[in-house]
Amino acid sequence: MASNTSHHILHRMVPLICQSLLAAPQDEAVWLEGLGMLCNPKLHNAMSATSSIWLPLLLKGLETVRPRPVIIAALSLLGEMAATLEPMKSCLLKPLRALAKDTELGLAASDEMRYTVGKLGLLVYDSQNNPIGGSMSVSRVV
């Protein structure tokens, strides 16, 4: 019975965390904490079942107008959930391409960007057309 209760609590945590992100759209500390909590491996099963709730917020976290630490946290979450997002990775191409080409943020050379793009099996290009990512199943995005 205890594991069943734990299961329900974990499934309720994802919407609550997402609601806090929605309630504080410009609060960097809330976003860092919330994205960090969503990276917790204990939430992976709940995250797999609730992608319609957290994926739009993840995409918001990847916007180039976000503070760099928030984008890094969103990239970490994206890397954590790469297997879950495999069927939906086409919707991640545009924000990843924008981040890779944004010279002001300087994320193209970051470990988080290389790891996440590689884990998704994507290949994107930075502002000087240098490749980032790639794996055995590569989708080219310029």
Structural domain including 10 reads 2-140
Q: Residue 139: pLDDT band by 50, 70, 90 thresholds? A: very low
Q: Residue 1 — very low, low, confident or very high, per pLDDT cuts 50/70/90?
A: very low
Structural domain count of the chain: 1
Residue 11's pLDDT is 78
Per-residue confidence band for 3, with pLDDT thresholds at 50, 70 and 90: low
Structure tokens of 100?
């890779």
What is the mean predicted confidence (pLDDT) over 76-102?
A: 93
Q: Where are the beta strands (DSSP E) in the chain?
A: 122-125, 131-133, 139-140
Round to whole Å and give the CA distance between 11 and 2: 14
- Can you tell me the mean pLDDT for 93-114? 94
Residue 132 parent element (H or E)? strand 131-133
The model's pLDDT over 58-73, given as tens digits with 9 standing for 90+, comes to 999 999 999 999 999 9
What's residue 91's pLDDT?
A: 87
pLDDT over 90 at 89, yes or no: no
